Amino acid sequence: MLAEKRLQQEPLTWIQRLGLKFHLLLCVYCRRYVKQIAIIHRQLQQYREAAFTAPNEQVKQQWEAVVAAYLKNNENNL
């Protein structure tokens, strides 16, 4: 599906781009689909940013424990 390809940021040829634009003009379902995917995409990105900039204390401690355990188990291989 062309809309899918576009969202995965695969390059489209100009004829495919034109075809997709034209299709989106005519097809309410794909238009809706593209809009929904864009919203999901944006929210995922916001979620990811929030997760990385403000880790909650518990998550942070879990990660520190994981990293510490990993370093301990691999200290001879580093």
Q: What angle do CA 52, 6, 46 make, to 5 degrees?
A: 20
Query: What is the nearest approach in angstroms of Zn ion to the Cβ of residue 9?
Result: 20
Query: What is the nearest approach in angstroms of Zn ion to the Cβ of residue 26?
Result: 8
Q: Which residue number, 18 or 44, has a Cβ lying nearer to Zn ion? A: 18
Q: Which residue number, 39 or 66, has a Cβ lying nearer to Zn ion? A: 39
Query: What is the nearest approach in angstroms of Zn ion to the Cβ of residue 55?
Result: 40
Q: 17: closest CA among 3, 33, 30? A: 3
Where along the sequence are the contacts to Zn ion (CB under 5 A)? 27, 30
> CA-to-CA distance for 47 and 32, rounded, in angstroms?
22
